[in-house]
Amino acid sequence: MSQSQSERFTIASECEAEIEDIGGGLKRQMLGYNQELMAVKIWFSEGAIGYNHAHRHSQVTYVVEGEFHFNIDGVTKIMKAGDSCMIPPYADHGATCLTGGILIDTFSPPREDFLEEGALEKPNDKFIDKSSGQVFNKDNC
C-alpha cells in the first residue's frame, strides 16, 4: 500500500478488508482514501449511538440500510436507506440507530484519526504528475 493513499480496489471476495470494532455497537471499514478524500462504512447495531461531535472536516453521509435519527446543528431528521445529509465543517452532529443499519461517511480532508500515524503525508511534501496521476515525494525528484 502506498503510504499516502489506499489500494485502488477494496473487494470483499478477494481480501478480508479489515472491519474494526470501534465500540458502542459500531464497526468501521475503510473504503478508500488519499490526501484529500476519505470514505468509510459504518455498521450500527440495534440502538447504537454516534454521539454528537464536531470536526473541521466536511462530511456527506449516505444511508445504506436501517433507520437513523440524525441531528445536525440541533435539527433532527429520520433518515432511511437512500437518504443523505451534508455536514459542514464544525457543525455539531450525531445519530441514533434504533433498527441497526449501515452508513457511508465521506470526508474531505481525510480523517487522519482513522489512520495509522504517518499514513498520510502532508500534501506539501508531494506533487502529482498530471500525465500519470502518480504521486511523488519531493525528496525523490
Residues near its own copies (CB under 8 A): 5-14, 31-39, 41, 54, 56, 58-60, 62, 64, 70, 72-73, 75, 77-80, 82-91, 104, 106-109, 128-133, 135
Residue-wise burial string across 85-103, b where 16 or more C-beta atoms lie within 10 A, e elsewhere: bebeeebebbbbbeeebbb
Least gap, CB of 125 to its own copies (angstroms): 16
Closer Cβ to its own copies, 8 or 23, answer by number: 8
98: nearest Cα among 130, 65, 75: 65
Least gap, CB of 8 to its own copies (angstroms): 5
